[in-house]
Chains A and B, each alone.
Chain A
């Protein structure tokens, strides 16, 4: 277990790095932060990555600068796994010069993140290989997360809908990138559909490449994901993941909601396990507003988080089985999940959307008798997980479909910023519950399953092991539940945290879920950014899918466990 080094507020992390200034902790927290100029950005990050071991890109986003100084600032966060140190870097951009060099040469996972910033803020990343919109339609005008963007006063009008219906709004990946000089742009480590679709097929058979659209409505696209594939028969030559079909303006809308209302909004981001986003968000709020959370509330947060992890993995298991043609595990998983959903309903009032965590704690204590019944229910779950394993784990057909399929090397994991069970399956041993204990995890022994080689079977096996671990941790939380307040007394109803920024991360069932929150002292957040683990996990697939077959694609996508609500927000 690694513990974050206590006194790294800037001094040691950025010592000797040239080109940085304004070194200090981020907001009221302890993350070392510094600023740099656009011209020095790549150099500084390079030094951090190669020279000081900060190999994981945790956050890449932008925020509007306060109204007095027009412009934006880019925010980067990188992490060193070995001692779980985080370092943040900001680059301020003035209003006429919203250009910054791309860091896609350092981390391939930065490319889609930069596309998102371009889409929503209008920052141009010079040297980016593929700078196009990613969540909005290609014919959308404007950059919505700018404060100056004119929000429609009564939402989207009927005329606008009629305009949207008139065309698909994206001609696929064939649109020209905004402004990147191909001669000087970073090259992607995987083939693209546009290049490969035009390439000649088999010279002997005179075959043609087939361009196949999978999604956005597709039984196995786990929500509205759109995959463009260039196929040679059944072989995938290139893949491109297009999304944005569920972009619901979450981050912008949160800027006009109170902090308490935002809790209900962020619930809907990762809708399969809403507690984790609630926790990340509220941790950031509590850091900004300097609210202490009582121990009992921390335990309740851990309990609910682990139950949410369990039900999320149940849902994943169901979808994974269904993708591979095993219909029955789908039903068994949902049946067993219902038992836990009954407890969610009893404790929080909702089966899926909870709004249970509050700034300073949780909404209410466990109802009388619920702890006992929950214990009984949880004690029966390992037996049902054994049942799931009997259906799939030892089944030769399942093994043939998953072993050796979609192997992701640890270097690729790091390159794309993949976290969570996907990373652990490739033996990248990172788990925020153990490495950087939050809530009450310092009191728990979290044991972390690792895979063997990073194939689909390992991702499956790691999640099954995590389900068992979640049951164990939930039972431990029930066992050790302290007495006390379930919410910190005296938290004002209308929260107005002092101006500042915070970046808090939790381990969600999909990986490192982070919330970057900036407050300007008013009752609404200034900037709310959700670092979505599924976004980074999804964008490793264009590097993993080529070379496999169509059948492998389904198996691999099933093991990625995407939740579109979180990816598109």
Chain B
């Protein structure tokens, strides 16, 4: 009986995740379109709602190619390895008070451990493709994602300290009175930046920098294997938005009755998804060494500072905690702005020269 329940749970979770992936894909195309003064998909279903299905089905029907020199086993394994963590992560995710995959006591740890498999998959894909672009893309991705996991984890440490537990549902319940975005805004900023890097989204999308590496690690993949990378990327967008909501925005907490908590959860998650998509289409991308420098020299020290000051704030009182966080946030924004301006010191749009007689 309980095995049946487990299987049912798995099916429901996978279905929900896939459905949301499709919705995120649709959102991306539509919001990108509207941000760029155009419409995005319109003809495939109502306002293009069926577009991701058409794309996926079309990809299913394409010829499966593998470069002759590719490493066969690794080439075939990589897409599966890429998609696996995206689903596995949901084993630890709570959706409502009563509905969790499995209530891990070290939920957060589990989440990060599973998420760390994704760069491995990309590295394998890049290497197996036997293509110089793919290899460069794979190396960049591995370096980037491994580097940015550290500030993310450190940022979340503050949240864990506040909740007193690594269990995700406990963290959500601890935000019943005040959301962590109020008590940990700086940590959220760090988490958000790290999240963009984990997702390989602009401004951190060097591994698949289209204008440089054609399609980076995905260059040699066609049909369903390509679709799996594609789906994995969008599933991750949804996953990390969901975690951001659970960790910082009170999860399913809201004015609605408890049984409708998931509505609130989804609304908040999609607000996060919107933010991620907005950032992608508004900003250019960082060069890989700038990316790495930023991660190691700016984010990690900042995240360590966050842990220290959060601990201090917890030991004193809430007001001190919030004040410190806001101060850290302001200081961080100022510092990054200064670094940016230093890079462009003195560079302004030139005024036309005087016309000499």
Contacts and interface: CB of A to CB of B under 8 A. Distances in A.
A449 B348 CA distance: 12
A404 B343 contact: yes
Nearest to A329: B284
A400 interface: yes
A360 B357 CA distance: 30
Range for the number of chain B residues in contact with chain A: 35 or more
Contact of B285 (A1, A324, A403, A464): A324
B2 interface: no
Range for the number of chain A residues in contact with chain B: 35 or more
A554 B341 contact: no
Contacts of A551: 206, 209, 212, 287-289
A549 B35 CA distance: 31
A446 B355 CA distance: 7
Nearest to A552: B287
A234 B213 CA distance: 12
B346 A549 contact: no
Contact of B353 (A220, A393, A448): A448
B352 A400 contact: no
Nearest to A323: B211
Interface in A437-465: 445-452, 455, 457-458, 461-462, 464-465
Nearest to B283: A397
B295 to A, nearest CB: 14
Contacts of A70: none
A69 interface: no
Interface string A382-406: 0000000101110111111111100
Interface in B327-347: 336-337, 339-341, 343-347
Interface in B264-282: 281-282
B192 to A, nearest CB: 16
Contacts of A447: 352-355
Contact of B347 (A213, A389, A452): A452
Interface in A210-241: 210, 212-213, 218-220, 234
A400 B289 contact: no
A397 B347 CA distance: 14
A481 interface: no
B44 interface: no
Contact of A449 (B35, B283, B340, B351): B351
A328 B285 CA distance: 12
Contacts of A401: 284-287, 290
Nearest to B213: A550
B205 A325 contact: yes
A457 B350 CA distance: 11
Scoring B203, B205, B211, B336 by chain A CB atoms within 10 A of each residue's CB, the highest score goes to: B211
B214 interface: yes
Nearest to B290: A400
A455 B344 CA distance: 11
Contacts of A391: 282
A210 B287 CA distance: 19
Given A446-B355, A550-B212, 14 more contacts: A1-B357, A220-B211, A220-B212, A325-B211, A325-B284, A327-B202, A328-B35, A395-B284, A396-B341, A399-B347, A452-B346, A461-B347, A461-B349, A465-B349
16 contacts: A213-B132, A234-B136, A325-B209, A328-B281, A332-B37, A335-B37, A396-B341, A399-B344, A400-B290, A403-B343, A452-B346, A457-B347, A458-B350, A462-B350, A464-B349, A552-B287
The 7 closest A-B CB pairs, nearest first, are A396-B340, A325-B285, A447-B352, A399-B344, A551-B287, A220-B211, A326-B284
Interface of A: 1, 210, 212-213, 218-220, 234, 321-328, 331-332, 335, 389, 391-393, 395-404, 429, 434, 445-452, 455, 457-458, 461-462, 464-465, 469, 549-552, 554
Interface of B: 32, 35-38, 132-133, 136, 202-203, 205-206, 209-212, 214, 281-290, 336-337, 339-341, 343-357
